[in-house]
Amino acid sequence: MSGAVCVQRPSPNCGPRRGGIVAPDMIVIHYTAMQSAVAAIDTLCDPEKEVSAHYLIARDGVVTQMVDETARAWHAGAGCWAGCDDINSRSIGIELDNDGFSPFSAPLMDALEDLLGGILSRWDIPAHHVIAHSDLAPLRKVDPGGRFDWRRLALGGFSIWPDKSDELPMRESLVALGYAVDEFGLEACLSAFRLRFAPMRAGPESEADRRDAASLATRLGVDPTNANS
Residues near 187 by beta carbon (within 8 Å), at least 6 away in sequence: none
Is 186 strand, coil or helix? helix
Is 50 in the active site? no
Is 81 strand, coil or helix? strand
Which of these, 117, 4, 127, lies nearest to 60 by C-alpha position?
A: 4
Residues near 47 by beta carbon (within 8 Å), at least 6 away in sequence: 12, 13
Cα distances from 41 to residues 115, 153, 193, 211, 217, in angstroms, run 18, 24, 29, 40, 36
The single residue of 50, 69, 95, 205 carrying the catalytic annotation is 95
Which of these, 156, 95, 94, 160, lies nearest to 126 by C-alpha position?
A: 160
- Helices in the chain by DSSP H: which ranges? 37-44, 87-90, 106-123, 133-136, 150-155, 170-177, 181-184, 186-197, 207-219
| Contact between 114 and 122 (Cβ < 8 Å) | no
| Contact between 214 and 164 (Cβ < 8 Å) | no
> Which residues does the annotation mark as catalytic?
95
